Amino acid sequence: MSAVNKVLIVGGGFSGMATAIELRKHDIEADLVELDTSWRPEGAGISLGAATLRALEKLGVYEEFEKEGHHSTGADLLAPHGALIAHISGGGVEGSEVTGEGAILRPKLGKILSNKVLELGTNVFLGNSFETIEQDEHQVHVTFLDGTKKDYDLVIGAEGLHSKLRGQFFPNAPTPEYVGQGVWRAVIPRPSEINSTRIWLSDDVKIGVNPCSDANMYMFITESRPTKDHIDPILWTNIMADLIKPFPDPALQALIPHLFEEGANIDYRPLFNLLMPAPWNKGRVVLIGDSVAATTPHLASGACIGIESGIVLADELHRQSTLQAALDAFHERRFKRCELVVKNSARLSEIEIQHGDKQEHGQLMKTSFQAMAQAI
């Protein structure tokens, strides 16, 4: 018998959807509320390492990813003029035949996951969220923004970096910390000769392209920015183009005009990280994903650890006979893994900002991916 029968998930992002999918596989009733009426993840593309692909396989959507996204093996690290510095080979992961890595447009991955959520019978309420949450020893009593009231055995918060639930139930939790870098992303046509990730490195700027479909790839640019200043979106295209111009590689220069085309979907975000100490629950309210463990994209594992946490939480809620036992097992399996990704990503960011030891940078990436390849 499962530890819970009826669960509320607050937030319909990747972590929340993964949780809903796995709960329904275990015949646990799940309601999901999401304020965004279009239920469409923002952003351009998303890189998916082998560990993330394994998680998609667990969710039962890996075949859909292969149809909509792009699967590749390895990445080329290049000097600004295009000379090869190193090739990083993608390996396998424990418990799966999946190897290599991939990429997909964020809205497409969101659609794949939301279709699965609905297919398995999750009750989804868009344009709605909680207004008040109170709990006692046996249940959580929720009043929603639309005035309805329901009781649950557990509330799972998957709201993201700026979680309202974290503010309410963990008032002394650390706040998101700006790391001193920002990331630019755009969707551009994929030249036929680019079949896997390419990353150009300079002292202060890192530029990458990653195929995300047969027709498109997404470009990402990480740059050092000491302060978190607002940047007017009207300037984004020109700023992104100016960041590329100092890189003399003709293959990279040829991509600049595509930034000015319709559909480039340019996006800029300052980078933050957050690691809240365990436990991540207060009674019958538990937080997952970016709400408690938000990371920079240096290991391409932010979505991965959130999705994994949803899978593990649902698994333990099904396996254990009491809620406390399930939450204890969840924290035992998740905290150190999430901590590794958040802290190692933060260190990679520091090395890039400080023009630090590239050997340390490379070794840290290698050991991190080896750890992510282990079973969840």
Q: What does the pLDDT average to over 70-84?
A: 91
The pTM for the full model equals: 0.95
The fraction of the chain above a pLDDT of 70, given in percent, is: 100
Q: How many angstroms separate the CA atoms of 360 and 60, rounded?
A: 37
DSSP secondary structure of 220-266: EEEEE-SS-----GGGHHHHHHHHHTT---HHHHTTGGGGGSTT---
pLDDT over threshold 90, residue 359: no
Provide CB contacts within 8 A for 96, sequence distance 6+.
Answer: 50, 53, 54, 57
pLDDT in tens, 109-148: 999 999 999 999 999 999 999 999 999 999 999 999 999 9
Q: What is the CA radius of gyration of the chain?
A: 21
Instruction: Return all residues near 374 (Cβ < 8 A) that are at least 6 apart.
Output: 93, 94
pLDDT score of 362 more than 90: no
- Cα end-to-end span (Å), the chain: 23
Please calculate the CA angle 127-133-135 and round it to the nearest 5 degrees.
145
Question: Tokens in use for 26?
Answer: 């275990």
Contact 249, 202 (CB under 8 A): no
Alpha helices in the chain (DSSP H): 14-25, 50-59, 62-68, 106-119, 164-169, 236-244, 250-253, 302-319, 323-353, 358-372
Q: Is the pLDDT of residue 73 over 90?
A: no
288-306 pLDDT, tens digit each:
999 999 999 999 999 999 9
In the predicted structure, residue 152 carries a pLDDT above the cut 80:
yes
What pLDDT digit, counting tens, does each position of 202-229 carry?
Answer: 988 999 999 999 999 999 999 999 999 8
